[in-house]
Structure 1
Amino acid sequence: MQDPEYQPPVNPLPPAVVVVFLIMAGIEAMLSLGEAGMIGGRDAVGWRLGMIRDYGFSGDLFDWMLANGRFPLQEVARLVTYPFIHLGFTQSLFAMVLLLALGKMVAEVMGQFAFLTLFFVSGIGGAVIYALLLNDPIWLVGGYPSTYGLIGGYTFVLWRTLEGQGARGAEQLRAFTLIALLMAIQLIWGILFVVGTQWVAELAGFVCGFALSFVMAPGEWARMRDRMRRR
């Protein structure tokens, strides 16, 4: 019989976060083991490039779909598959760390459905805005736009918490410290090294996640109804 006062040393992760993490980790494990020559033989070396080609997001391809008014399901699906493919182990590792840390918080505060909505819709929004604003031929892959959407959710919760504590104006801006820090790192990295334009998709993902929180966060519907009644 389990002790009712027993507390696990590590708080269990919400199932939705675990499922997304396992998919991301499983794909990266397969690709990394293939590149190391541990599975798949010689052909495994090209698995990553093949998956980027088959499941990554192409801004040029998206522009073609818009111009021709044709949206094949296989190509549209890239909007939800590209976050699970990474350029390498290091990129995937940081994405998974952000996923676990921020996904746990968002799922516990807003619910697992909200977590999935923020993750996938932010990824879709980040890719679409990336394609519309830029003409970059580089394919977009990696979970950062989606995890930045979770940062948007985290920022929203912190922002509302500070508001509830009576913070106003500049004090509430503390909620945006994390995204400001990440963007500053991007800027410094861009000055020191040649980097791509994926930060556009990441920032767009953050904006999508923050905006979605106005309807996904607990109590926001009631807040909106109260404002409408006051008008």
Structure 2
Amino acid sequence: MSDQHEPEFESPFNKLPIVVVFLFVIMAGIELTLTAGAAGFVGGPEAIGWRLGLVRDWGFSGDLFDAMLAQGYWAPEHLARLVTYPFIHLSFTHALVAIVLMLALGKMAAEVMGPLAMLALFVLSGVGGALAYALLLDDPVWLVGAYPPVYGLIGGYSFLMWRKLGATGGQQMQAFSLIAMLMGMQLIWSLFTSVGYGWVAELSGFVCGFVLSFLCAPGEWARILQKLRQR
């Protein structure tokens, strides 16, 4: 009888912060349900319209926000769209790329800044991206997908790189190479097809994530308070 033990299976989710797993379960669960419904595996004929129904009921509309702003009436069910739209995607591929980026960047942000700070970065960057989309544009296209909050996580990553390069005497502009590459890819892609104005929400989400990191990154809040006391 061999003394060797079979290697135990270790779930990859054991290595992910719980808040990242939580976001993954919601995003993947919704997308798998919609994909299965569109393929006819669940829900019957009505399931074909589930995705469009979710976009209508939980996606973010700049026109709806403008109407609330003009009337001065902030309907809770429409304000909720600022938080719910990142969990709805236009296709399986649209969701897959967003989920992969969220897992990688969310893991980094949660481990460095803490799970609550990572969640705040994700949610508030999504809200900021949607507000910019509504206030800066007059676009009737509904905003859906996790890309604005994911770009907020890229903003957090860029902030950490910016701070690290500053501490080591490196060229801090290198911290923005990732966002520059992504925006460059958007520009190139726009030459071949219509990409819409979702990039406004994404870039705004990045800016929100970078700015919020001054409060979320370890030691930054104490550093700000120290500088204020010295004045």
Structural mapping, 1:28-177, within 5 Å: 28-167=31-170, 171-177=171-177
Distance in structure 2 (CA, Å) of the matches to 1:67 and 1:221: 36
Gaps of 5+ in 2: 1-7
**1:228: how far off?**
1.9
Distance 1:9-1:85 versus aligned 2 partners, 3 A rule: closer
2:15 counterpart SS class: coil
Letter in 2 for 1:128: L
Distance in structure 1 (CA, Å) of the matches to 2:128 and 2:111: 23
Q: State the match for 1:22 in structure 2.
A: 25
Identity %: 62
**1:201: how far off?**
0.2
Distance in structure 1 (CA, Å) of the matches to 2:221 and 2:83: 27
Q: State the match for 1:3 in structure 2.
A: none
* Deviation string, structure 1 residues 28-79 (Cα, Å, up to 9, x no partner): 0000000111111100000000000000000000000000011111111000
Tell me if 1:228 matches 2:231.
Answer: no
Q: Which runs of 4+ in 1 moved over 4 A?
A: 8-11
Q: State the match for 2:189 in structure 1.
A: 189
Letter in 1 for 2:185: I
2:191 counterpart SS class: helix
Distance in structure 1 (CA, Å) of the matches to 2:50 and 2:136: 30
* Deviation string, structure 1 residues 131-173 (Cα, Å, up to 9, x no partner): 0000000000000001000000000011111111122xxx111
1:192 counterpart SS class: coil
Q: State the match for 1:216 in structure 2.
A: 216
Letter in 2 for 1:180: A
Distance in structure 1 (CA, Å) of the matches to 2:21 and 2:84: 17
Distance in structure 2 (CA, Å) of the matches to 1:230 and 1:16: 37
2:85 counterpart SS class: helix
Gaps of 5+ in 1: 1-5
Distance in structure 2 (CA, Å) of the matches to 1:215 and 1:187: 31
Distance 1:190-1:74 versus aligned 2 partners, 3 A rule: same
Question: How many positions carry a matched residue from both structures?
Answer: 222
Letter in 2 for 1:49: L
Letter in 1 for 2:229: R
Comparing 10-19 with 120-129, which one deviates more in the overlay?
10-19
TM-score (norm 1): 0.93
Distance in structure 2 (CA, Å) of the matches to 1:39 and 1:99: 27
Distance in structure 1 (CA, Å) of the matches to 2:225 and 2:135: 34
Letter in 2 for 1:199: W
Distance in structure 2 (CA, Å) of the matches to 1:228 and 1:174: 28
Distance in structure 1 (CA, Å) of the matches to 2:117 and 2:98: 19
**1:9: how far off?**
9.1
Letter in 2 for 1:214: F
TM-score (norm 2): 0.93
**1:192: how far off?**
1.4
**1:225: how far off?**
2.2
Distance in structure 2 (CA, Å) of the matches to 1:77 and 1:9: 33
